[in-house]
Amino acid sequence: MNDSELDEILNQWRAPSAPPSLRKRVRAGFPAGPPRKLRWGRSLVAAAILAALVFFLVVTQATPHPTASIPWSVDSEFIRYAENGSSSIEMYTTSYESTGSNANEILVSRSAPGNPFKTVLGQTMDATLPALGRFHNHVLGFVAPGMLAKMEQMKRSRPPGISFITGCDPDGECLVLDHYGFAKAANGCVDSPVVDRATILNHPTEAVRERWTEHGRVTLWIAPDLGCFALKVTYEAERPDGAFHLVAAKQALKVTLNP
């Protein structure tokens, strides 16, 4: 018997109908009345959503917003370029550059244009991850008191560096942010050759460039008077003919000086 013959037999076969006694016994096993479990399930979902919103609000209120305690902040947009040259804005951010031997760009806020759900999700991650980090350190300090001291010693022993938020992770739809780090110069910002100079938003910048991938490069225009903040970042991919074309970019829109 081949497959076609088996299919014909199965198509002709019909399962016998359930007897009335079976139907009666099945109905007797369920209580009469409205489907309370369905209403309870909806209530549970609503309660979970409400709890998530309350948690987000509590954490957001408990997390300090550093804009009032820093001398300046920068509003930026993150842009993605298609093969045909068209562009779309992936994200808006407000951030600043921390000071010290190991400086980092600190994110104050962000939003995804036209996508309020992604905006709330990103803001929730930004608020909860530092809180989780502090909780982790608290637990680690309780379980292994000497571990935190070793971690701090390792941080202090690292050579001076500086890092920037340079773009969105394509796989994370801008929920995960890309960072790029450089060695810090003894007198200046980045210990790399300057490939360009430009004035952006009335701030002089010096551009440095590194290989992004085997067939790509990233260029950052850094403002020394803004704590070495990168006011512009471009990602370029190399075509077979050796020419480069834009893939993604970060562009400063406004610099706010806080009194």
pLDDT, tens only, 102-138: 888 999 999 999 888 888 888 887 777 666 556 555 5
Q: How much is the pLDDT for 153?
A: 60
Q: What is the pTM of this model?
A: 0.66
pLDDT(222) > 80: yes
List 224's β-bridge partners, or say none.
none
Element spanning 28, H or E: helix 20-28
Residue 57's nearest CA partner among 49, 67, 45, 66 is 49
Higher pLDDT, 61 or 209: 209
98 neighbors 157 (Cβ within 8 angstroms): no
CA-wise closest residue to 257 among 207, 201, 212, 209: 201
For 237-259, the pLDDT digits (tens) are 998 898 999 999 999 999 998 87
Residue-level pLDDT at 56: 46
134-148: average pLDDT: 59
Q: Tens digits of per-residue pLDDT, 3-39?
A: 444 444 444 444 445 555 545 554 554 444 443 333 3
47-60 residue pLDDT tens: 444 444 444 444 44
Q: For domain 72-115+160-257, which architecture applies?
A: Beta Barrel (2.40)
Amino acid symbol at 8: E
Tens of pLDDT, residues 180-194: 888 888 888 998 999
